[in-house]
A and B are shown apart, each in its own frame.
Chain A
Amino acid sequence: MVEHNAKSIEGKRTIAASASKSVKTTRYSLWNFWICATALKVLLFPGYYSTDFDVHRNWLAITNKLPMGKWYLEATSQWTLDYPPFFAYFEWFLSQFVPKAVAEDGCLDIVEVGNFGFPTIIFQRTTVILSEVVLYVALQVFINTSDISEKSANFVMASSIVLSPGLLIVDHIHFQYNGFLFGILISSIVAAKNRRYLLCATFFSVALCFKHIFLYLAPAYFVFLLRAYVLDFSSFKFKSYKDLISIVQWPNLFKLAAVVIGIFSVAFLPFISTWPQLLQRLFPFSRGLTHAYWAPNFWAVYSFADKVLTVLVLKLPYLRKILSIVLTSMPKTAADIRFEIDSNNSGTRGLVQDVFFVVLPQITPKLTFLLTLFYQILAVIPVLFDPSFKRFVGSLTLCGYLSFLFGWHVHEKAIMLVIIPFSFLVPFDRRLLTPFTLLASAGYVSLFPLLYESQDFLLKFLYTFIWCILYFYAMGQTSKVNRSGIRRVFFFDRLAICYYLLLVPMVLAVQSLDVLKHKYVALEKYEFLGLMIYSMYCSIGVLSSWIGLSWLYNFDEPMWN
């Protein structure tokens, strides 16, 4: 058929095609994505970078110039080393490759404020791109080891992570090494999927020694490894309490303990002499509840509610009376309230300071900690009963959520800790897509204020926009449709679509507010308004996606079969 067209084909191509096997396979390789993404990332070199760039440069200098004992003591610059030791080793490793021209540029000087030029930028940005290869390798292994029936869905998911606007914004513009660090975390998730539990524990411990924010995910790992690797209920019959000993697989327990303790001692033993200092650097509780820009979490809503109530209470005396019955800590008279406001002038504008609530009760670190822990325990209990990979990733995602929603001094960047585990969950069921779309769109958009310069606006906006469109659509086509899908509440799906479509006008409106503030001086007073809109609107998305996932996680039976 269509013989006449055959003439026009390249002879060579025909030969090549006929010579090869007749069965065509799709390789699902991330190779092409890597090259394209790298080209884009190199083009971002001359663009904006945040103070995190100088932070990492300073760490390069500290680890290169000082003996190990002084790494966590050095404080010439305000950007002291506050990541765990593996990251310090990593910086030391990188600093061995600093070329002479870059060192002369000021890359390795321990100074108060870094004084460097383009060579340093090229060097450090290149290290980010190269170290990110870990992420690609981990995900490629994940694709290759997955079952043929789920390959396409897993490929979509994997490519959504490597092309994630979050990594682009945070790593390649703002400047951090999240791609590399999440690469290690993902390696451990992949190992868990392949039932290589020891490997899973190894990777997770390593990740933990690179960046301690992963501690938030530790409950899920702990329970999962305990249940899946250490405990064995298959032949358990209760006759006496001695039988409890036999459910523990002692060899496994010892192997696991050896691995974990080994890794931690490699990381922390060399620093044992500066131990208190190290701990203080890693866990600085002196910071406030919320960051300067409220990350879109529960406390953002709480702070916003406090602001609104303060205004309302001042205007409406009746409300004040009613509220003061419920909230006993609240100041009783209008004069008191005004005094409180004046003495604790506003929590959002300063850099890092304590947040003070006028009407609502104050929040202490202990409270946030207990709240997080409580919900995390709820999230890991199902893993105790059913240590499947699906459950594990679900609890991991929820642990991420809880640390983000209720944690103390949460950065907006921490949203990646939720989005990435969630990505692994989406291929299992189409219904998970609704909470995922809410989370990913709100989460990525909430990163926009990190790049406040006008030159990045179009870039971040277009990239996030096209990522959302492509991947929400692609995931919808590839994720499994379980029969219980009929029970989907369509109303919520539509609402979610409305939500993330409305993000576009929201972003544009805030941007025009920003552009017009030079024109209308009056608008300058409302500079924080843009940030508040961002954080409010995004917290609605993140909170509702958490509720959606929690519902499916705890109460949807067919999904977990």
Chain B
Amino acid sequence: MVAKKKLSSKNSGKKPSGNTPVIVQASSPVEATKKVEPVEAFFASPLYDFVTPFRPVGNQWCAKYVIVIFALIIRCAVGLGGYSGLSTPPMYGDFEAQRHWMEITQHLPIRFWYWYDLQYWGLDYPPLTAYHSYVLGKLGAFFRREWFDLETSRGYESLDLKSYMRFTVILSESLLYIPAVIYFTKWVGKHRSQSPIGQYIAAAAILFQPALILVDHGHFQYNCIMLGMTVYALNNFLDGFYAMGAICFVLSLCFKQMSLYYSPIIFAYLLSKSIYSPGFNLPRLFAISVATVLAFIGCLGPIYIFGGYKNLAQMSYRIFPFARGIFEDKVANFWCVSNIFIKYKNLFTPQDLQLYSLLATVVGCLPSFVITFLYPKKHLLPYALAACSMSFFLFSFQVHEKTILLPLLPITLLYTSRDWNVLSLVCWINNVALFTLWPLLRKDGLALQYGVLFVLSNWLIGNFSFVTPRFLPKFLTPGPSISHIDDDYRRDILLPKSIIWRIVIVGSYLGMGLIHFLDYYVPPSLKYPDLWTIANCSLGFSCFMIFWIWNNYKLFEMRNKTLHDL
């Protein structure tokens, strides 16, 4: 990565550029010289440094493209690594699942999509995934028939196929997720009088979120579509296009059912906006309901038309796998971690567990639901979505480790915030989430990518700036390249101001380091082969839990504030 360039030393003066950037005056009454310094959330971070050359108005147009292209380059580079199920017959992994869906959707009529050979990666996502697979499968088959031949292409592996599949993810992401995120950061920035440069830095910080890059472009999935549509929904809400937002959200839902994690908040927000705040608004309510129903009909219609009711039922049965256990593999949520002490599977029937998990989830997301309903404010949306989806992640049924991406999306969007504490926690929880993905990524052969992206993402937002060596000879001049930052200025590590938080966060980082160390050097005993993975999950769970509690508190605290305090 790296956006850089001293585009123009001449006009990159200290004068504020664009629409009223935040200027502050460092108060030092002794000095006669007034110091004017822009307040940026990521002031003095390497991202700030790289984006500085684009500060002059004449250069601003290209900052966006530069950031996007470097984000894409990193994604391409991650894509060179392994993927889920590489050379592991007979079942392979998520890559093969996606390829298999491209194969069956283009060769079978719609009425067989949810029925065909369910043992081998039967389709278990909503129809939009299927349509998406259909289009990409057709396109791929145009280039090479053998990639997607029915039955015979099972387990097909070649470099060209891998490149094609990687390309489809990059394409999907650059069409949906990336523009959505950029629009979001620009909207927030504009309405908070943030400088354009600040907006771009926030966008870059969000786009370099390691977890999504690793899961989508390394492990191989299309989460960027679901998340992108959700951000589009959010953008529409911000702009006040409620029906449009509802449609986007339905599309997200129809791509992957996991975005149900967001649905209570979206529902509460829309409901509140239509009937309660500021008053009863029948046209809006009507528009939203009609749009939602129409969007659902549009997505599910073909399934019904070509397969009747039975097909629809089969689809929902496939999408909501209640027949499976309360958790699969090891995941950093309540059920998996408490399972160490309470063996749920021996104590309760699956039906009981379903009920309990449902209750726990409802209780968990109730606070955010109520607050969103009572205070449907734009600046609360990311907090509420984070709290709600996190409670789903922690307490609901059948959660995968990759599902952490859902709570992570609204949390990461909070990189637009200006509050040091919020930024610190966002950064922290991103690192924790990346850590909980470690067992998965190691299995996919992505250890290298995991390490690099951990370092890169933290380093870009200035988390490692404090270690910039001071002992190197003068001619090496480590430090910011272009921006006007004083020689002896070091950006602090992103840690909240409260000492308790600091202890918690630093402690968790040390714990992560320890677990990685043990994982590498100490083979677990035969009795507990998963010992380090469970340690990983437990640590992850405790961090998520703490964050979730803080998140709910923050939601409560922010209820009467405005966007400017974000």
Task: Give residues in A with beta carbon < 8 Å to B.
Answer: 1-3, 5-6, 8-10, 12-14, 16-18, 20-22, 24-33, 35-37, 39-40, 42-47, 137, 140-141, 144, 152, 155-156, 159, 163, 453-459, 462-463, 465-466, 469-471, 473-474, 477-478, 515-516, 518-519
Q: Which residues of B contact A25 (CB under 8 A)?
A: 484, 486-487
Q: CB-CB < 8 A to B455: which residues of A?
A: 39
Question: Do B1 and A36 touch (CB < 8 A)?
Answer: yes
Closest residue of chain B to A160 (Cβ to Cβ) is: B5
- List B457-486 residues whose CB lies under 8 Å from chain A: 459-460, 468, 475-486
Residue of A nearest to B162 (CB): A455
Our pick among A46, A144, A163, A477 for the contact of B448 (Cβ within 8 Å) is A46
> Taking A29-B479, A156-B5 as contacts, is the C-beta distance between A454 and B159 under 8 angstroms?
yes
A32 to B485, CA, bound (A): 14
A47/B475 in contact, CB under 8 A:
no
> In the assembled complex, which residues on chain B have CB atoms less than 8 Å from the CB atom of A152?
6, 9
A516 with B143: CB separation less than 8 A:
yes
- Chain B residue nearest to A34 (CB atoms) is B478
Given contacts A21-B486, A474-B6, contact A33 B481 (CB under 8 A): yes
Closest CB in chain B relative to A546 CB, distance in Å:
27
A54 to B86, CA, bound (A): 25
Least Cβ distance of A446 to chain B in Å? 20
Of B26, B39, B488, which is in contact with the most chain A CB atoms at under 10 Å from its CB? Answer: B26
Q: Are B6 and A43 in contact (CB under 8 A)?
A: no
* B545 at the A interface (CB under 8 A): no
Name 25 interchain pairs, CB-CB below 8 A, sorted by A.
A1-B23, A6-B25, A18-B28, A21-B486, A22-B31, A24-B485, A26-B6, A26-B9, A26-B484, A31-B478, A36-B46, A39-B452, A39-B459, A40-B2, A44-B77, A137-B476, A140-B475, A152-B9, A156-B5, A455-B79, A463-B73, A465-B69, A470-B3, A470-B66, A473-B62
Contact B7 A477 (CB under 8 A): yes
A117 CB to nearest B CB, Å? 13
Give 8 nearest A-B pairs by CB, closest first: A43-B77, A36-B2, A20-B486, A454-B163, A18-B28, A152-B9, A24-B484, A47-B80
A171 to B455, CA, bound (A): 23
Minimum Cβ distance to chain B for residue A142 (Å): 10
Of chain A, the residue at the smallest CB distance from B45 is A32
- Residues in chain B near residue A28, CB distance under 8 A: 6, 477, 481-482
Please state if B7 and A459 are interface contacts (CB–CB under 8 Å): no
- Distance from A223 Cβ to chain B, minimum over Cβ atoms (Å): 30
Q: A20-B488, A36-B46, A39-B456 are in contact. Are A5 and B39 (CB under 8 A)?
A: yes
Among A6, A458, A519, the residue within 8 A (CB) of B76 is A458
Q: How far is the CA of A179 from the CA of B130 in the complex (A)?
A: 47
User: Hey, which chain B residues are within 8 Å of A44, CB to CB?
Assistant: 77, 80
Query: B residues within 8 A CB of A518?
Result: 143-144
Q: How far is the CB of B234 from chain A (nearest CB, A)?
A: 24
**B489, A144: Cβ atoms closer than 8 Å:** no
Please tell me if the beta carbons of B9 and A39 are within 8 angstroms of each other in the complex: no
Of A22, A40, A462, A516, the contact of B69 (CB 8 Å cutoff): A462
Q: Judge whether B385 is part of the interface by a CB distance below 8 angstroms.
A: no
Q: Are A17 and B4 in contact (CB under 8 A)?
A: no
Cβ of B550 to closest chain A Cβ, rounded Å: 20
Question: How many residues of chain B get a CB closer than 8 Å to chain A's CBs?
Answer: 79
Interface residues of B in 30-86 (CB under 8 A from A): 31, 33, 35, 37, 39, 43, 46, 49-50, 53, 62, 65-66, 69-70, 72-74, 76-82
Decide if B116 is an interface residue (CB 8 Å cutoff). Answer: no
Within the complex, the shortest CB–CB distance from A285 to chain B, in Å, comes to 37
Closest-CB distance, B193 to chain A (whole angstroms): 9
Q: Which of B27, B46, B456 is in CB contact (< 8 Å) with A18?
A: B27
Complex Cα distance A144/B472, Å? 15
Q: Which of B66, B70, B486 has the most CB of A within 10 A?
A: B486
Residue in chain A with minimal CB distance to B50 = A32
Quick check: B481 and A45 within 8 Å, CB to CB?
no
Closest to A133 in B: B476
Pick from B7, B10, B73, B476: contact of A473, CB under 8 Å: B7
CB neighbours of A457 from chain B (8 A): 163
Question: Most A CB atoms within 10 A — which of B1, B31, B70, B77?
Answer: B77
* Chain B residues, CB < 8 A from A21: 486-487
Taking a contact as CB atoms under 8 Å apart, the answer to whether B159 and A474 are in contact is no
Residues of A within 8 A of B49 (CB): 32
Instruction: Decide if A29 touches B485 in the complex (CB within 8 Å).
Output: no
For residue B480, which residues in chain A have a CB less than 8 angstroms away from its CB? Answer: 27, 29, 32
Which B residues form the contact surface with A (CB < 8 A)?
A: 1-10, 22-28, 31, 33, 35, 37, 39, 43, 46, 49-50, 53, 62, 65-66, 69-70, 72-74, 76-82, 142-144, 159-160, 162-164, 166-167, 170, 418, 420, 448-449, 452, 455-456, 459-460, 468, 475-489, 492
CA distance A152 to B331 in the complex (A): 51
CB neighbours (8 Å) of A516 from chain B are 143
Determine the residue in chain A with the shortest Cβ distance to B78: A43
Q: How far is the CB of B32 from the nearest CB of chain A, in Å?
A: 9
- Residue among B53, B74, B481 with most chain A CB within 10 A: B481
Whole-angstrom distance between the alpha carbons of A465 and B65 in the complex? 11
On chain A, the residues within 8 Å of B37 by CB distance are 17
Residue in contact with B483 in the complex, picked from A22, A26, A36, A463, CB distance below 8 Å: A26
Determine the chain B residues whose CB is within 8 A of the CB of A18 once the complex forms: 26-28, 31, 35
Choice from A2, A14, A24, A31 contacting B476 with Cβ under 8 Å: A31
Contact residues in B for A37 (Cβ distance below 8 Å): 2
Inter-subunit contact A35/B46 (CB<8 Å): yes
Closest to B446 in A: A46
In the complex the two chains form, is B488's CB within 8 Å of A9's CB? Answer: no
Who on chain B is nearest to A453 by CB?
B159
A112 to B489, CA, bound (A): 55
* Contact, CB under 8 Å: B39 / A459: no
Give the residues in chain A near B46, CB-CB below 8 Å.
32, 35-36
Pick the residue among B23, B449, B481 that contacts A155 (CB under 8 A).
Answer: B481
Residues of A within 8 A of B170 (CB): 458
What's the Cα separation between A16 and B465 when bound, in Å? Answer: 15
Q: Are A12 and B475 in contact (CB under 8 A)?
A: no
Quote the shortest CB–CB distance from A410 to chain B (angstroms).
29
Residue of B nearest to A22 (CB): B33
Given contacts A43-B448, A137-B475, A156-B5, 18 further A-B contacts (CB under 8 A): A2-B22, A3-B25, A8-B24, A8-B39, A10-B39, A137-B476, A140-B476, A156-B6, A455-B79, A455-B166, A457-B163, A466-B66, A470-B62, A471-B5, A474-B6, A474-B7, A474-B8, A519-B143
Q: Do B448 and A466 have beta carbons less than 8 Å apart? A: no
Bound-complex Cα distance A144 to B473 (A)? 12
Chain B residue nearest in CB terms to A516: B143
Cross-chain contact A144 with B477 (CB below 8 angstroms): yes
Question: What is the chain A residue whose CB lies nearest that of B16?
Answer: A2
Question: B487 and A5: CB pair below 8 A?
Answer: no
Contact A31–B481 (Cβ < 8 Å) = yes
Q: Given contacts A32-B4, A32-B481, A462-B76, is CB(A2)–CB(B31) below 8 Å?
A: no
Say which residue of A16, A159, A455 sits within 8 Å of B80 (CB atoms). Answer: A455
Residue among A13, A32, A515 with most chain B CB within 10 A? A32
Contact partners of B159 in chain A: CB under 8 A: 453-455
- Are A27 and B481 in contact, with the CB atoms below 8 A? yes
Q: A89 to chain B: closest CB distance in Å?
A: 25
Per the bound structure, the CA–CA distance linking A195 and B46 in Å amounts to 35
B506 to chain A, nearest CB (A): 18
Residues of B within 8 A of A469 (CB): 62, 65
Q: Which residues of B have CB within 8 Å of A6?
A: 24-25, 27
Q: Do residues A5 and B23 form an inter-chain contact, with CB atoms below 8 A?
A: yes
A17 touches B26 (CB 8 A): yes
Q: Are B70 and A466 in contact (CB under 8 A)?
A: yes
B23 touches A2 (CB 8 A): yes
Residues of chain B with a CB closer than 8 A to A456's CB:
80
A126, chain B: closest CB distance, angstroms: 12
